Structure 1
Amino acid sequence: MPVDAKKLVKKASQHLKPVEKLDCETKRNTTTEGETITFNYMWATHLTDDDFEWVFSLFKSNMLEMYQKSQWGYDENSKRNELRATTSRFIIAINSKGEKIGYTTYRFVVDHNIPVTYCWELQILPSYQNKGVGGMMLDTLEKLSAKTNMEKVMATVFLFNGASLGFFHKNGYVSDATCPSDDSGLDYAILSKDTPNQ
């Protein structure tokens, strides 16, 4: 399996437009209030500087305090490099006025010898949270995971981020086999959802 896992991840990572080519876009495209949302898909390396600064600004406004109180701490340069990594892929949500309202960044990786789609960040403007936008992006990731033969979608969430834990649980994510135990003293959980059968 390990050799296959590496091959599958390499192949998935080489797709230039995986969501479009493999027809993985979510069929859900309206918020709970009926607004139509569209999505742009791109590699991190193809983001314009303005787009990247918007991505980073949203990450920072949503997550800075959480990172500062976490065991990881906050390192701005490290986070910028992480978001702009050559293996990072983006789904950017656009509202009916053409404004960016959220994004998820993901990577195809081998995790404990298993090929997975890792949801690295999922950030949405506060005014668009709890309206179904995040669920739409997860739906696309799950479809993409199936089409690229990844075994599951994974995410790491701070234990004190109740809203995020609730969101992932609501969408069917559970503690992964690799999740730290309750008595580990660590302040994050690793969640996953098996890739749906096609």
Structure 2
Amino acid sequence: MESKRLHASCSRNIGNDSVNKLKMVTRREILAKKKAIQELIKAAYVVKDHIAFSPLFHHYDRNGLSVNLESGRGDKLSVTVKNYIQNLLKQNMEGHYGSEWLVEEKVKRREMVAPEARYIFVQEGIANTNFNKKTMELIAGKTSTSCLENNGPLVGFVHYRFIVEEDMPVLYVYELQLEPRVQGKGLGKFLMQLIELIAHKNRMGAVMLTVQKENLFAMNFYINKMRYNISTMSPSKVNPMIGIESSYEILCKTFNEEAKTTLEDPG
């Protein structure tokens, strides 16, 4: 009997050792994955100009609209640019937020100047001859956000960041805001395609964004024109009862199977 108990005890110990080793391997894998994701995010933020990879993405000239694009970051904005962002946000979004706007506006003001905030600014009124020179300067890294004030009026911007959602590196679009007079000319689609290219080049698993349900124009644009889906993280997917009361949806476009499984609801 004693030998049988010893044998059983040894078997349990061997079994426990195997389980512990498996847990250690799994933990190492989890930590390694998290570290790799953080390295991707860090590398994305190191890039000074996310649209410098091609001069083609510094200019948009279609449908009677001619504008130039320039990169920026939240902690380098001039007072003039800050005021412009605040005014355009209020003009475009106050009606969609309704009574929530007073609180939301304060949040957006803090978000827009964060060091992590990255921008694509849209300007008009720059001659093509100046554009070619400016493109070369941008690629050489000789410009900064401060030059915006001297090169033509702003007519819109994209605010985006590189973050982690559900253990997945994603590019999150905080804002895409255009003045009404430049809307409906394909510029929004061009900017989102550029954002998706930036996400691809920085090895993000998806592009994500939040849209107010009241903003029917934006919902139609992202879902029907840009082929975004409601994310599994959106209130309406997490809990349909809570989702009914929620004022927003979280949308996403994924670029690989892991991201699709984690962030996108095919239903």
User: How far is the alpha carbon of 1:66 from its aligned partner?
Assistant: 2.2
User: How far is the alpha carbon of 1:73 from its aligned partner?
Assistant: 5.8
In structure 2, give the amino acid aligned to 1:128.
V
Does residue 34 of structure 2 align to residue 2 of structure 1?
Answer: yes
Question: Pick from 98, 107, 125: which aligns with 2:161?
Answer: 107
Q: Which residue of 2 aligns with 1:173?
A: 228
CA distance in 2, matches of 1:143, 1:119: 13
Does residue 114 of structure 2 align to residue 59 of structure 1?
Answer: no
Does residue 45 of structure 2 align to residue 13 of structure 1?
Answer: yes
Does residue 122 of structure 2 align to residue 68 of structure 1?
Answer: no
Does residue 251 of structure 2 align to residue 183 of structure 1?
Answer: no
For residue 116 of structure 2, give the secondary structure of its aligned residue in structure 1: coil
Q: Is the 8 A contact 2:120 2:157 kept in 1?
A: yes
Q: Which residue of 2 aligns with 1:90?
A: 119
Cα distance per residue 1:75-119 (max 9 Å; x no partner): 443321111111001101112453211111000000111000000
Cα distance per residue 1:138-178 (max 9 Å; x no partner): 11111110000001111000111101111112112111121
CA distance in 2, matches of 1:166, 1:25: 27
Q: Where does 1:96-175 land on structure 2 (aligned, <5 Å)?
A: 96=125, 98-169=152-223, 170-175=225-230
CA distance in 2, matches of 1:55, 1:160: 21
User: How far is the alpha carbon of 1:25 from its aligned partner?
Assistant: 5.8
In structure 2, give the amino acid aligned to 1:116.
V
CA distance in 2, matches of 1:23, 1:43: 19
The alignment-based identity, stated in percent, is 27
CA distance in 1, matches of 2:90, 2:122: 18
In structure 2, give the amino acid aligned to 1:177.
T
In structure 2, give the amino acid aligned to 1:148.
N
Q: Is the 8 A contact 1:102 1:125 kept in 2?
A: yes
Q: Is the 8 A contact 1:24 1:140 kept in 2?
A: no
CA distance in 1, matches of 2:89, 2:70: 18
CA distance in 2, matches of 1:27, 1:38: 6
Does residue 60 of structure 2 align to residue 29 of structure 1?
Answer: yes
CA distance in 2, matches of 1:75, 1:91: 22
Which segments of 5 or more consecutive residues in structure 1 lack a partner in the other structure? none
User: How far is the alpha carbon of 1:194 from its aligned partner?
Assistant: 2.0
Q: Is the 8 A contact 1:92 1:102 kept in 2?
A: yes
Per the normalisation by structure 1, the TM-score is 0.88
Q: Which has the higher helix share?
A: 2
Give the RMSD, CA atoms, in angstroms: 2.1
**Structure with more contact order per residue of length (Cα contacts < 8 Å, sep ≥ 6):** 1
User: How far is the alpha carbon of 1:13 from its aligned partner?
Assistant: 1.3
In structure 2, give the amino acid aligned to 1:187.
S
CA distance in 2, matches of 1:128, 1:152: 27
Per the normalisation by structure 2, the TM-score is 0.67
Does residue 254 of structure 2 align to residue 194 of structure 1?
Answer: yes
In structure 2, give the amino acid aligned to 1:174.
N
CA distance in 1, matches of 2:58, 2:157: 17
How many matched pairs?
Answer: 193
For residue 29 of structure 1, give the secondary structure of its aligned residue in structure 2: strand
**Distance verdict in 2 for CA 1:111–1:189, change over 3 Å:** same
**Distance verdict in 2 for CA 1:27–1:19, change over 3 Å:** closer
